[in-house]
Chains A and B, each alone.
Chain A
Amino acid sequence: MSTVIPIGPFHPLQDEPANFLLTVEGEKVVDIEANMGYIHKGHELLGQSKTYDQVVIQTERICGICSVTHTVCFCHAVENLLGIEIPKRTAYIRTILGELERCHSHLLWAGLAGHFIGYNTVFMWAWKYREPVLDILEALTGNRRTSSILKPGGVRRDLDEKHFPKLLEIMSTLRGQTKMLLEAVIDDPVIHSRTKNVGVLTYEDAVDWCVVGPTARASGVDTDVRRDEPYGAYDEVDWEVIVWKDGDVFAKVAVRLLEIIESTKIVEQCVKQFPKGPILNTIKQIPVGEGIGRYEAPRGEDIHYVRSNGTNMPERWKVRAPSNVNVPSFHASCIGESISDVTITLASCDPCYSCTERMAVVVDPGSGKIIYTGNDLVRMGQEKTKAIARELGRPPDLPLKLEF
């Protein structure tokens, strides 16, 4: 006999509303349906009534976590339309900001993942490590996240080089802290049993569902826009694409943490090679035509499309955010899992609904369903960790090693 469990739309599992219908037989999930559209605000239509410089401010508000991502991606699309190159100093500024954003986004995710499996220590520590990254972003750009520093053709404001020693110091501390987190994850048998072989997305499934970013790289798909179609300063610095083959939640955690280390290396090299020069190619007129921008967001490949009719407003603006292709892969990774593992599996691709919801979905509310709240799911997930810890004879919430 199967039962349908609705989760959401408001649930403590994620900070954004989304509704999941899980069909379960006993403890096993046999089907999953994601109903979204709670955050649909009509960004694309709104953007078509704004000028190109105003759209930039709006793109930052698509997603608060990837504010640099969407803005740079939109700028890439407009620059592609115009066929212009950006000054070298601008490319470096964009790269530094993008990598700092990747650091804070991955740390944020690592913390939330720790919370979902009942390791609140990881949540608190990862978010504590994230604060200095936001501090340096504030020093460099003027705000913790939405800085409005970017515009098509370049950047509005230059970075002040007097903050660079502090930036380098934060990057090297962050690398040590991330290595410590990584060791804590790799060594811990409780985290192993909660994440290894859980929510496996095989290579074939990853290709079939067209997943992108760390979700794909954890399944062995070697894809990264930063290397495949280099923009910014990525072809001038030395870094590696992290690829793991397992496809389970553990691989996704490891890929993200290792990417933070790569990001710190990229920022350090960018600071060392930081060129002098102008920061803006002034755009006088936007011709008729269309342009596509690609960008490797923390969650995967982001695509913006802009069509111009020669006026100062885009005729059509389309956003394809990474979560848009990652979320449907729950079909492949959640089915067959026990219900207490669904929490971490749903979270494992770092879904971001405010990026994704470009189209409203019709939801059939139905009736007479047993309601488990998302809170119950988190509790079940945390209880499973405790049970495993008891079996292994370990304290449930381990203190992390202090020295690194």
Chain B
Amino acid sequence: MDIFKKALIKSPWVYHVGTSGCNNCDIEILDCLTPRFDIERFGIKLVGSPRHADILLVSGPVASHCKEPLEQVYRETPKPCVVACVGVCACSMGIFKDAYSVSGPPDKVIRAIDPNAIIVYIPGCPPRPEAIIMGIVKALQSLNGVAK
């Protein structure tokens, strides 16, 4: 395994990119930090800058206005990194499929600038904090070669 991936799966730091979500997934992500779920015990930490991050948690569809900032955040993140699409809007646009000012789900936006990006999907409206934690754990396991 290459050394970067090996480093990535130990104590992953996450950066939360709330692209255009309705707040619901964003709040559940914050909920993961609080005493009941407390993901910091696994070494997962929410950081304030994409330059420190190993995992990008993207919630919500990407509004046209938000597309450029998201691309910039992805470029700033050190590679390899994992992009986790949290919530049904980020996976498949959900009810915003036909909205005029939405430029697509985040995976499409990120694939357009990096076809080899590692993207995982956590569906739910909103996904429960347990689901978010499980999604991140599965992403790390797949990097580790434990599960595909």
| Residues on B with beta carbons closer than 8 Å to the beta carbon of A144 | 28, 126, 128
Chain B positions 55-113 with a Cβ under 8 Å from a chain A Cβ: 60-61, 63, 65-66, 69, 73, 94-96, 98-102
The answer on a CB contact under 8 Å between A10 and B73 is yes
CA A10 to CA B20, docked complex, whole Å: 11
The answer on a CB contact under 8 Å between A127 and B34 is yes
| Residues on B with beta carbons closer than 8 Å to the beta carbon of A80 | none
CA A144 to CA B31, docked complex, whole Å: 12
In the complex, residue of chain A having the shortest beta-carbon distance to the beta carbon of B98 = A46
In the complex, residue of chain B having the shortest beta-carbon distance to the beta carbon of A365 = B68
Whether, in the assembled complex, B43 has its beta carbon less than 8 Å from a beta carbon of chain A, the answer is no
Q: Is the interface of A mostly helix, strand, loop or mixed?
A: loop
The answer on a CB contact under 8 Å between B66 and A64 is no
The answer on a CB contact under 8 Å between A10 and B96 is no
Question: Are A128 and B34 also in contact (CB < 8 A) when A10-B73, A40-B63 are?
Answer: yes
Question: Are A62 and B65 also in contact (CB < 8 A) when A42-B101, A128-B35, A375-B48 are?
Answer: no
Please classify how large the interface on chain B is, using the bins under 10, 10 to 19, 20 to 34, 35 or more: 35 or more
The answer on a CB contact under 8 Å between A127 and B31 is yes
In this complex, how many residues of chain A approach chain B with their Cβ under 8 Å: the count is 43
The answer on a CB contact under 8 Å between A145 and B26 is no
The answer on a CB contact under 8 Å between B27 and A39 is no
Chain A positions 34-70 with a Cβ under 8 Å from a chain B Cβ: 37-43, 45-46, 49, 57-58, 61-65, 67
Instruction: Pick the contact of A352: B23, B35, B96, B125 (CB < 8 A).
Output: B23
Instruction: Pick the contact of B24: A123, A145, A375 (CB < 8 A).
Output: A145
CA A131 to CA B38, docked complex, whole Å: 13
Chain B positions 16 through 53: 1 when the CB is less than 8 Å from some CB of chain A, otherwise 0: 11111111111111110011100000000010111000
Whether, in the assembled complex, A326 has its beta carbon less than 8 Å from a beta carbon of chain B, the answer is no
The answer on a CB contact under 8 Å between A41 and B20 is yes
Whether, in the assembled complex, A373 has its beta carbon less than 8 Å from a beta carbon of chain B, the answer is yes
Shortest Cβ distance from A30 into chain B, in angstroms? 26
Shortest Cβ distance from A362 into chain B, in angstroms? 10
Instruction: Pick the contact of A17: B34, B69, B101 (CB < 8 A).
Output: B69
Instruction: Mark B residues whose CB is within 8 Å of A.
Output: 16-31, 34-36, 46, 48-50, 60-61, 63, 65-66, 69, 73, 94-96, 98-102, 125-126, 128
Q: A42-B100, A111-B34, A373-B49 are in contact. List 11 more A-B contacts (CB 8 A).
A: A10-B18, A39-B20, A40-B65, A41-B101, A64-B27, A64-B126, A127-B30, A127-B34, A146-B126, A354-B20, A363-B65
Chosen A-B contacts, 12 in total, with CB atoms closer than 8 Å, are: A9-B66, A10-B50, A10-B69, A15-B16, A17-B20, A17-B66, A40-B63, A45-B99, A63-B22, A123-B34, A144-B126, A373-B49
Instruction: Mark A residues whose CB is within 8 Å of B.
Output: 9-12, 15-17, 37-43, 45-46, 49, 57-58, 61-65, 67, 108, 111, 123-124, 127-128, 131, 144-146, 352, 354, 360, 363, 373-375, 378
Q: Which 8 A-B pairs have the closest CB atoms?
A: A64-B24, A375-B48, A127-B34, A15-B26, A64-B23, A12-B48, A42-B99, A128-B35
